[in-house]
Amino acid sequence: MRVEVEGLGRLVNQLEKFSPEVSKVLKTELKQAATGVVKAARGLYPNDGLSNWGMWTADGSRGGQNAGGRDLGYIGGMARRGVKVATNRYRRAGVTTAFGYDVVSSTPMGAIYELMGATGAVMARNMNAKHPRPAGNKPRAIFPAYYAAMPQALEQIEAAIRKAEQEVGR
């Protein structure tokens, strides 16, 4: 999920060139605002995904990490820890044109939990029955967490930008 602030990329670019200290503080405060969404999303991950969703690897074996494939099994604590803030920056010719943070599920099990259910497969139907996705097939935890935590995050973002602009004006 993404919040776009018009002109933020330009502000970050100017701060990086002319006031690196203020740039660092702004980025820290923006990232902190996104952690509210992370906390809310982590609270929505269950301890169990589905029954029999244990060790499972991409090569089809059920032997775990040592079986020759990446473990796609579901462990609630690991899936929750995998929800993180990721930097989203777009540069063109060395100039930052867009900047922000995304909240992502960085583990295979978390990504599967968030998005499984678009097909008619038995596992997908079972997942939708046990853990329904929001309307429009949005991610199960990150989407509702975004809307729950966003009002406070927006206040933090606006305050951080105002503070950075004031620091630049000095």
pLDDT of amino acid 146: 92
Mean pLDDT value of segment 3-12: 76
Enumerate the domain spans of the chain: 8-169
Confidence of residue 148 (pLDDT cuts 50, 70, 90): very high
Q: What are 37-47's pLDDT values in tens digits?
A: 999 999 999 99
Confidence of residue 2 (pLDDT cuts 50, 70, 90): low
Q: What are 56-93's pLDDT values in tens digits?
A: 665 655 554 554 566 778 889 999 999 999 988 888 88
For all residues of the chain together, what is the average pLDDT? 84
Torsion of CA 144, 35, 102, 27, to 10 degrees: 150
Q: Do the beta carbons of residue 133 and residue 46 sit within 8 Å? A: no
pLDDT at 3 over 80: no
pLDDT of amino acid 37: 94
Mean pLDDT value of segment 102-115: 92
Q: Do the beta carbons of residue 9 and residue 26 sit within 8 Å? A: no
pLDDT of amino acid 68: 55
pLDDT of amino acid 60: 56
pLDDT at 170 over 70: no
Q: What are 123-143's pLDDT values in tens digits?
A: 888 998 999 988 778 899 999
108 CB-near residues (< 8 Å, 6+ apart): 70, 71, 72
Q: What are 111-128's pLDDT values in tens digits?
A: 999 998 877 788 888 998
Indicate the pTM of the whole model.
0.80
Q: What DSSP element (H or E) covers 121?
A: none
Q: Do the beta carbons of residue 141 and residue 44 sit within 8 Å? A: yes
Whole-number percent of the chain with pLDDT over 90: 36
